[in-house]
């Protein structure tokens, strides 16, 4: 309940700052929205905040999702390769893949913003605070949190919000499967920079809708593989 009240408040703040005639620069809007999101996530997690940085003990697994550094490394790398292969494959077949021109300073700035501000804030709020109360019913939690993630990104348009939801579903499944939110934030930020600043898929307007449907389908399939692997491991424990 508290998560959803906070989500509505953050969504209202985001929409108000972006679309109200206040003349606030977009960069400042981003800082304000994601700064508020981080603080709200800290407040929701409270005593469980330490488990963002250290794996929780067994006694806490009913309140928060478990994770380990080993799973974080293995699954983040594997899922990252799979997730990045989806757009690269589609762009190679139906578009014109190309590298965007970026300076080293520009790349470093983009990585800092997307990993530390956007990635960490969204993962801490949606995948950590949002999923923590659903450790006994992770599928229901995943569906609801992915819906919230989709709604939060609707200001970017239906296509971008749908792609964000597909990636968000994968990130959520990684969290359920035992990946640290820190690892997911890193993957989240790198993905954003890679496909918004570093690589152009070169898709035509007609191909974008097909790509969106393809990416959603591929994300659901990858999510199912992650959850199936996690369930199989849990049965053997």
Each residue of 216-225: pLDDT tens digit? Answer: 999 999 999 9
Q: What is the pLDDT of residue 138?
A: 87
Q: What is the pLDDT of residue 59?
A: 54
Q: Pick from 207, 216, 177: which is nearest to 75 by CA? A: 177
pTM: predicted TM-score of the whole model, two decimal places: 0.94
Q: What is the pLDDT of residue 148?
A: 97
Q: What is the pLDDT of residue 56?
A: 86
What 3-state class would DSSP assign to 132? helix
CA angle 233, 234, 235 (to 5 degrees): 90
- Does residue 237 have a pLDDT over 80? no
- Does residue 62 have a pLDDT over 60? no
- pLDDT tens string 89-121: 999 999 889 999 889 999 999 999 999 999 999
In angstroms, rounded to a whole number, what is the distance separating the alpha carbons of residues 44 and 103? 39
Q: What is the pLDDT of residue 130?
A: 94
Q: Pick from 123, 58, 60, 75: which is nearest to 230 by CA? A: 75
Q: If you average pLDDT over residues 13-17, what whole number do you get? A: 92
- Does residue 136 have a pLDDT over 80? no
In this predicted model, which residue has the larger pLDDT, 59 or 53?
53
In angstroms, rounded to a whole number, what is the distance separating the alpha carbons of residues 83 and 232? 22
- Does residue 145 have a pLDDT over 70? yes
Average pLDDT, the chain: 92
- Does residue 63 have a pLDDT over 80? no
């Amino acid at each position: 309940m508290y998560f959803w009240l906070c989500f509505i408040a953050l969504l209202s703040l985001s929409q108000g700052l972006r679309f109200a005639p206040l003349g606030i620069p977009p960069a400042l809007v981003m800082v304000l929205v994601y700064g508020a999101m981080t603080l709200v996530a800290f407040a929701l997690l409270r005593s469980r905040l330490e488990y963002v940085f250290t794996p929780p003990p067994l006694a806490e697994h009913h309140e928060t999702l478990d994770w380990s550094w080993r799973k974080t490394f293995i699954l983040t790398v594997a899922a990252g390769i799979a997730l990045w292969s989806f757009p690269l494959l589609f762009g190679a077949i139906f578009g014109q893949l190309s590298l965007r021109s970026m300076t080293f300073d520009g790349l470093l700035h983009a990585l800092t913003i997307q990993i530390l501000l956007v990635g960490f804030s969204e993962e801490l709020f949606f995948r950590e605070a949002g999923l923590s109360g659903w450790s006994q019913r992770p599928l229901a939690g995943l569906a609801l949190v992915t819906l919230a993630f989709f709604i939060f990104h609707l200001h970017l348009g239906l296509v971008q919000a749908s792609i964000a939801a597909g990636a968000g579903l994968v990130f959520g499944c990684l969290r359920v499967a035992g990946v640290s939110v820190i690892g997911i934030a890193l993957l989240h930020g790198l993905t954003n920079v890679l496909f918004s600043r570093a690589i152009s898929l070169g898709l035509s307007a007609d191909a974008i809708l097909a790509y969106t449907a393809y990416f959603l389908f591929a994300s659901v399939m990858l999510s199912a593989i992650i959850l199936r692997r996690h369930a199989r491991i849990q049965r053997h424990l």
